[in-house]
Copies of this chain bind each other. A is one copy, B any other.
Amino acid sequence: MKPHPGMHTFKELQKMVNQQIVSQQLVHEPLELYEPIEYALSSGGKRLRPVLVLMAANLYTDHIEEALMPALGIEIFHNFTLLHDDIMDQAEIRRNQPTVHKKWNANVAILSGDAMFIKAYEYLLYYQGYNLQQVLKVFNETALKVCEGQQYDMNYETEEQVGEAAYLKMIGLKTAALIAGSLQIGALIGGAGEQEARRLYDFGWNLGVAFQLQDDYLDTFGNPEVFGKSIGGDILADKKTFLFVKAMEKAGADQKEELSSLVGNKELDPQEKIDSVKQLFRNLGVGDLTHIQAEQYYDKALREMDKVQRSPTRKAHLLDLADQMMRREK
């Protein structure tokens, strides 16, 4: 489908976001507060969420300038959540760089994270439209969902068995909510009504869940040359992914015991652990199940997009991006 002429591609919007970020004067006194913010924001990333804000706005208007600063606000918020999550998860590396709490310390990471969150609101407040309050309420609700998702994720770390429904709810809150909220906010800024913006939210929620399930799949079964991260990271970190959740559901008594003995085992050779868990996952067919589940969510997302009252030429770039998100690697 040939896109409408006023529409921008992912690459164009990504460039626009990156240029805008670079042009911001983020660092001033006290440096310990602001340098980590610039550090976190300048360390790259796909800028997926701000681009989604802009693409959703672009569905309704050719003039997306008004959405640019709020889009940056969403990116700043996203990086704030990563910053605080990295403290909680004791992660040492983010985007091939030391995390903020490693480069500085935990106190700096807590406080500059807080300041970053305030900055996110500051950028959203550049928006002057009649529906500012509505936009901010969506942002607020979304932000709270992301916190809830992170809390469930932390809770599940110490629970032996997590059900499928609970897992899907958790990734919905932790990952899909912000993708959904970005689209909803973009639509509202672009001029969409409340119901229409809600359709973008539903599209984004389903896309986001599909995206995370795909991520779970690729982290274990992806092609290391194409997938950005090294394969098996989730297994080594004993993460409760969809693969693991389904494996525990499908496993017989013996397999359950084997899987339980592998989880948390720090003595095994890393590659051996990855291979053993992968083999177990293969025997149980959970790779395919994850893949099928991701496809179902993606189909649901596309059906939600069908309800969106815009022409196919307007929707083309956003659907392209969704397709790219799902087809990154097989």
List A residues at the B interface (Cβ < 8 Å).
29-30, 32-33, 84, 87-88, 106-107, 110-111, 113-115, 117-119, 121-122, 125, 128, 132-133, 136-137, 140, 143-144, 147-148, 150-152, 154-155
In this complex, what residue of B is CB-closest to A173?
B30
From B32, B114, B121, B148, A140 is in contact (CB under 8 Å) with B121
In this complex, what residue of B is CB-closest to A132?
B133
Residue numbers in B under 8 Å from A150 (CB-CB): 111
Residue numbers in B under 8 Å from A29 (CB-CB): 148
Assess whether A30 is in contact with B151, with CB atoms less than 8 Å apart.
yes
Assess whether A88 is in contact with B110, with CB atoms less than 8 Å apart.
yes
Task: A160 to B32: give the CA distance in the assembly, Å.
Answer: 18
From B87, B148, B152, A110 is in contact (CB under 8 Å) with B87
In this complex, what residue of B is CB-closest to A143?
B118
Task: A140 to B122: give the CA distance in the assembly, Å.
Answer: 7
Task: A119 to B137: give the CA distance in the assembly, Å.
Answer: 11
Residue numbers in B under 8 Å from A154 (CB-CB): 32, 107, 111
Assess whether A30 is in contact with B148, with CB atoms less than 8 Å apart.
yes
21 contacts between A and B (CB under 8 A): A30-B148, A32-B154, A32-B155, A33-B147, A33-B151, A84-B110, A84-B111, A87-B107, A88-B110, A110-B110, A111-B150, A113-B114, A114-B147, A118-B143, A121-B136, A122-B140, A122-B144, A125-B133, A125-B140, A128-B133, A136-B136
Task: A121 to B128: give the CA distance in the assembly, Å.
Answer: 18
Assess whether A148 is in contact with B107, with CB atoms less than 8 Å apart.
no
Assess whether B115 is in contact with A144, with CB atoms less than 8 Å apart.
yes
What is the minimal beta-carbon distance from A313 to any residue of chain B, in angstroms? Answer: 35
In this complex, what residue of B is CB-closest to A30?
B151
Task: A259 to B90: give the CA distance in the assembly, Å.
Answer: 39
Residue numbers in B under 8 Å from A155 (CB-CB): 30, 32
Assess whether B117 is in contact with A151, with CB atoms less than 8 Å apart.
no
Assess whether B30 is in contact with A111, with CB atoms less than 8 Å apart.
no
